[in-house]
Structure 1
Amino acid sequence: MNLTAIRAIYLFELARTWRTLFQSIFTPVLTTSLYFVVFGSAIGGRMHEVGGVPYGAFIIPGLMLLTILSESIANASFGIYLPRFTGTIYELLSAPVGVAETLIGYVGAAATKSIILALIILATARCFVPYHIVHPFWAVGFLLLITVSFCLLGFILGCWADGFEKLQVVPLMVVTPLTFLGGTFYSIDMLPEPWRTITLFNPIVYLVNGFRWAFYDIADVDIRISAGLIVAFLAVLIGVISWIFRTGWRLRS
């Protein structure tokens, strides 16, 4: 394991966060605060509790994932796309750096940014509503699995994209709508049939409910299915990235 290479890639990618601090940190936090003001106050004033949890606290896990998923994809995709765009990817490919070192460096930096952002959002939520995390160990586990998985997805998108505009296609047109429809602001038990059954085909539902269970011990789906889907998704992404490096798809062209 080339620890020097990992450290160099990791620190270089992480340094970009401090150069774009407003965009990387303050903008998502401001957006989350507005969600709390609009949904927590306006809707929460009419819907006091969901599953025995105050509505303002109920939406915290969903709001965290709403930001984490898009930021994880954006950070990881831009991190690998920029070397491809500038041509510096060939220096990385010709260096004695393996797939594991490259992934740990790029994905580790992107995941670190997302986790820092998640902690800031969690602290910001404390300013609006009181909450208590019932299963802190599982909350950390779900957060790490989800963050790393979507950073890997972002890495794949960064390899696939042939223009800056394509980096935003999946986050804006797929992930964000699915997150809004995945029980971020409501329990899917509130939905009438057949919409409740249709919603179960949305994979984000299982991520939101797994994370919410870790917070409040309530979930609309089986927690074992949530955990299993995240692990399976992670394994598939690792397999795809291994194939990309083995074949050089989009990296050498």
Structure 2
Amino acid sequence: MNFYAIRAIYINELGRTWRTLFQSIASPVISTALYFVVFGSAIGSRMQAIDGVAYGAFIVPGLILLTVLTESVSNASFGIYLPRFIGTIYELLSAPISALEVLVGFVGAAATKSVILGLIIFGTARLFVPFEVAHPVLAFGYLVLISMTFALFGFILGLWADGFEKLQIIPLMVISPLTFLGGTFYSIDMLPGVWRQVALFNPIVYLIEGFRWTFYGISALTPLISLGLTFGLLVLCSAVVVWIFKTGYRLRS
């Protein structure tokens, strides 16, 4: 394992975050803070508690994942697309480093940025609504797992996209809507029977419910199912990335 190569890629990707601090960190935090002001403080004070949890606190896990999912995909996709766009990807492919080392560097940096952002949003939420985390270690571990999974997905997206417009299609048109409809602001048990069954086809539902369980010990779904689905997505994305490096799809064209 070439740790020097991994460190170089990792530090370079993290450095891009500090060079674009407002876009990378400040902007998502400000947007999420507005959600807490509107839904947590203003509307939340008029809403009934859900499963014994105050509404403002209930939406915290969903709002954290709303940002973490989109940022994981966006950071990883842009990180690998930019070398393809400017042509430096060929220098990377010709360097004496393996596909695994490239993947660890890019995905590790994207996941790290998402975890840091999730922790910042967690701290921001505490300024607006009071809440306690029932399983803090599990919550952090699950946050890392989700960040890695969607960073891998973003890496695939960055290889697939042939223009900057396509980099935004999936985060804006797929990830964000599915997160909003995945129980961010409500429990799927509140949905009528038919619509609850429809919601179960949304994979983000399982992620939010599992993450919410680590916070409050409540979930509309079995936490082990949520964990299993997350691992399944991680394995699937890893298999796709391995296939891409073996075939050279979008890497050499």
TM-score, normalising length from structure 1? 0.99
Alignment of 1:186-205 (within 5 A): 186-205=186-205
Residue in 1 aligned with 2:61? 61
Letter in 2 for 1:28: P
SS in 2 for 1:12: helix
Cα distance in 1 between the residues matched to 2:226 and 2:212: 11
Cα distance in 2 between the residues matched to 1:165 and 1:185: 29
Q: 2:41–2:128: 8 Å Cα contact kept in structure 1?
A: no
Letter in 2 for 1:76: A
SS in 2 for 1:44: helix
SS in 1 for 2:128: coil
Residue in 2 aligned with 1:160? 160
Cα distance in 2 between the residues matched to 1:75 and 1:214: 26
Cα distance in 2 between the residues matched to 1:124 and 1:231: 28
Residue in 1 aligned with 2:218? 218
Offset at residue 51 of structure 1 (A): 0.7
Q: 2:57–2:131: 8 Å Cα contact kept in structure 1?
A: yes
Structure 1: tracts of 5 or more residues without a match: none
Offset at residue 46 of structure 1 (A): 2.1
Q: 2:41–2:129: 8 Å Cα contact kept in structure 1?
A: no
Q: How many residues are aligned here? A: 253
Q: 2:62–2:208: 8 Å Cα contact kept in structure 1?
A: yes
Cα distance in 1 between the residues matched to 2:29 and 2:170: 22
Q: Note if 1:10 corresponds to 2:10.
A: yes
Structure 1 runs of 4+ aligned residues shifted over 4 Å read none
Structure 2: tracts of 5 or more residues without a match: none
Identity of aligned residues (%): 67
Cα distance in 1 between the residues matched to 2:195 and 2:235: 30
Residue in 1 aligned with 2:103? 103
Offset at residue 82 of structure 1 (A): 0.2
Cα distance in 2 between the residues matched to 1:117 and 1:161: 25
Cα distance in 2 between the residues matched to 1:55 and 1:153: 31
Offset at residue 99 of structure 1 (A): 1.2
Cα distance in 2 between the residues matched to 1:101 and 1:157: 19
Offset at residue 130 of structure 1 (A): 1.1
Letter in 2 for 1:72: S
Q: What is the root-mean-square deviation in Å for CA atoms of aligned residues?
A: 0.7
- Per-residue CA shift, 1:59-96, capped at 9, x if unaligned? 01000000000000000000000000000000000001
Residue in 2 aligned with 1:114? 114
Offset at residue 47 of structure 1 (A): 1.1
Residue in 2 aligned with 1:22? 22
Cα distance in 1 between the residues matched to 2:119 and 2:193: 36
- Per-residue CA shift, 1:19-77, capped at 9, x if unaligned? 00001111001001100011113321221311101111110100000000000000000
Cα distance in 2 between the residues matched to 1:64 and 1:42: 19
Letter in 1 for 2:60: I
Residue in 1 aligned with 2:43? 43
Offset at residue 157 of structure 1 (A): 0.2
SS in 2 for 1:52: coil
Cα distance in 2 between the residues matched to 1:42 and 1:13: 38
Residue in 2 aligned with 1:235? 235
Q: 2:44–2:55: 8 Å Cα contact kept in structure 1?
A: yes
